[in-house]
Amino acid sequence: MPLFTGPVDDPLAFNNNPPMQNALDSTRQQLSDAGTPTVDDLAVIVVALTGFEGGLNHPWAAIRDQDECYSASLIKTAAMYTAYDLRASADQLAQDQGLTTWPAVEAALKATFDPDIAAHTPSLINASTALRAEDKNRRPDYSAVLKLGAPGGDFIVDFTPAQVSAFEDMMVQQNDPGATTTIHGLGYPYLDGKIADDGLFDSTSSQGLWLAGDYAGIWPAARIPCVNDVDTAQGTTARQLARLLTLLADDKLVGPTSSQGMKDLMARAGKLFASTTPPIWPPDGQFVATHGKVGIGPLKTGQTVMSEGILVSDTVRSRSFAVVYQNVVKDGLTQRDALVPVATLIEAALNAF
């Protein structure tokens, strides 16, 4: 299985859904006219999942979905995804070559994957003046991330206990050290090269999923322009993250078993951090965030900005949606006051479908 397989499917390939878009636009205008905070610069996209699973025509509606935003910890989803993809590719390589020992697997990974990573390293990494030579030429630390799988398990090559703990820390507990461990295990050349090869980042426009900072300042960061800050090492457009979440919901991101593993992490994060979803959605309400990843961090102005990617269940109509919102600036507001308008906008689009 090649490590770099070209652009992933675009499940949002068709035009937006008029009823959803009209509801989103009109509600945003009403909120803006009323002087409601946070809505004018908000980036948001709502994607219908139920009834469109696996297809390329998921109905959607969006506002400013092509804005590249600093998104803080939300972009840890990119580290999770690329690590899972590395495992799948390594597992297939071991199967194809009939490898049964870790030294043989690791040698094959280095011989097969390292040259491909060099060839697919984005120019924004290679040409960065902020990165050191070693940052531009890093290869995955295969023994830190991967090991031989348990006999009879799903994978010949699986994650190490340390990497499993890192996923738990960064995705469920919402901490930074697990993200640092994961990013250091992967390296910027593979991580960002994989995302760009997937078509989830456009190096020409510098738009899409971008993760070239380690959440600890141990490695220098490579930054790109963004609309809500001077620049960012952890950014995305709402649209590209929604593509990733939609493929994940459809079990098409990496593969069904890996997709389920990633969704399990995000489901437990949602339960642990229920207060980070829009607070007017109680656990027993019509809309429930079943899976999620939050991003809350400081802009260079000192203001706090919030973002989130969630899978949402409409419990009344038995429908599911993927939702991404970004660039919610608290600016002295309580979290509830900042997020209630966001929830109002999202609900308008959900109810219009």
Question: Which helix (H) or strand (E) element contains residue 244?
Answer: helix 238-249
Question: Which helix (H) or strand (E) element contains residue 344?
Answer: helix 335-352
> Mind listing the pLDDT tens digit for each residue in 236-292?
999 999 999 999 999 999 999 999 999 999 999 866 555 555 555 767 789 988 999
Phi, psi of 65 (to 5 degrees): -75, -10
**Amino acid 337: pLDDT:** 86
Question: Which helix (H) or strand (E) element contains residue 304?
Answer: strand 304-314
**Polymer length in residues for the chain:** 353
CA distance 219 to 212: 9
Say if residues 69 and 226 touch (Cβ distance below 8 Å): yes
**Amino acid 29: pLDDT:** 97
* The two three-digit tokens of residue 253, written as one number: 């991101």
**Amino acid 278: pLDDT:** 52
Say if residues 270 and 277 touch (Cβ distance below 8 Å): yes
**Amino acid 275: pLDDT:** 56
Question: Which helix (H) or strand (E) element contains residue 111?
Answer: helix 102-120
- Fill in the DSSP letter of residue 7: P
**Amino acid 269: pLDDT:** 86
All residue ranges of the chain with pLDDT < 70 are: 1, 270-280, 282
The terminus-to-terminus CA distance of the chain in angstroms comes to 39
Of 49, 46, 68, the closest CA to residue 58 belongs to: 49
- Fill in the DSSP letter of residue 285: S
